[in-house]
Structure 1
Amino acid sequence: MSREITLNIGGSPAELERINAAVEELAETEGWPAELIFQTTLVLEELEMNIMNYAYSGDESAHSQITLRSDPKLLTIEISDSGKPFNPLEDAKEPDLDASLQDRKIGGLGVYLARSLMDEINYRRENDRNYLTLLKRRD
């Protein structure tokens, strides 16, 4: 079985609840294990907050789009936005994981978590939009 959903996401952090609900609905339909639900939700929350805070600089009227495609062997996530050009594979700073909690800067873990939890990440800039594609094998 295979299913696809597409969400148009506004620039407000309140949209994260809608993302989580959509992930849970798709996960239930597709029979995802709890670990995949957790990883997908965490990665989407982190990346969408980055888009809201940095690509759109907090402009709550801005929108991004998330497409989730789930089949028995692969989960594909595509996130697109028309914000500032940003290639997280080249432009994101590596977080200092060895620093103490008091010395760490707030944030900076979204791209790191996506790289750690997903099997493959690809970026492209096309027609003034950022496209980030994440793949997670389900087998």
Structure 2
Amino acid sequence: MQFQPEEQARKAVCAGWQISFNGQRMLYEQVRPCLAGLLRAQHVAEDIVDDLQLIAEEVLVNVLKHGASEQDPALIKLNVRLQEREIVLDMVDNSHAYNPLHGVSQPDLEVDFADRPLGGLGLYLVSALADHIDYNYAQGQNNLHIRKFLVKA
């Protein structure tokens, strides 16, 4: 994991960071506290910090589960930009093209947990917590762009 402040981005935004790692399953667990520390240092509200930690963790787990393999781990970058009215997370990885938003729908939350099919809740949670999310695949990389507003309009 690396902390890389972007001097150019600091002029346009309050703060910007890049967290990079090589897809090892143990390293993704370090992203959550790292992200929280960076955001708390900028006095981001705790409920937003919590939401962004969950979002980042769910997306990382999804990339590691569906986009990477033990033999070919994904190189993942999480770019975090704290702007005046929102926080932007850009998750970039080099695994095969995989749109995590494809097929995300509201699960039937009334179904008993034991009868519920596995999967689907994590990305539903991400889409529910984020204010805007989109995906594209370009130049051999998956790009997931997530925005979380600091203040609801």
Contact 1:78 1:131 in 2 (8 A): yes
Contact 1:123–1:130, Cα closer than 8 Å, also in 2: yes
SS of match in other structure, 2:108: coil
Aligned to 1:112: 124
1:14 pairs with one of 20, 26, 30: 26
In 2, the alpha carbon distance for the partners of 1:93 and 1:60 equals 29
Which region of structure 1 is more displaced relative to structure 2, 28-37 or 98-107? 98-107
Q: Aligned pair 1:77/2:89, yes or no? A: yes
Contact kept in structure 2, 1:2 and 1:71, CA below 8 Å: yes
Aligned residue identity for 1:20: R
Deviations 1:72-117 (A, max 9, x none): 3110000011112122333446533232100123332221111100
Task: Indicate the residue corresponding to 2:146 in structure 1.
Answer: 134
Aligned residue number for residue 63 of structure 1: 75
Gaps in structure 1 of 5+ consecutive residues = none
Deviation track 1:55-82 (CA, whole Å, cap 9, x = no partner) reads 0134473321100101231100000111
State the distance in 2 between where 1:26 and 1:74 align: 15
What does residue range 34-53 of structure 1 map to in structure 2 within 5 Å?
Answer: 34-53=46-65
One-letter identity of the residue aligned with 2:61: M
Return 5+ residue gaps in structure 2 as ranges. 1-12
Report the structure number with the largest CA radius of gyration: 2
Cross-structure match for 2:137: 125
1:52 aligned partner, one-letter code: L
Distance of aligned partners of 1:93 and 1:11 in 2 relative to their CA distance in 1, 3 Å threshold: farther
The 2-side partners of 1:129 and 1:61 are apart by 14
User: What is the rounded CA distance, in whole Å, between the counterparts of 1:137 and 1:4 in structure 2?
Assistant: 16
String of CA shifts for 1:2-42, please: whole Å, max 9, x gaps: 11111112222211332112212211221111111110011
The two structures, once aligned, show a CA RMSD in angstroms of 1.9
Which residue of structure 1 aligns with residue 9 of structure 2?
none
Structure 1 runs of 4+ with >6 Å offset: none
What is the aligned-residue identity percentage? 23
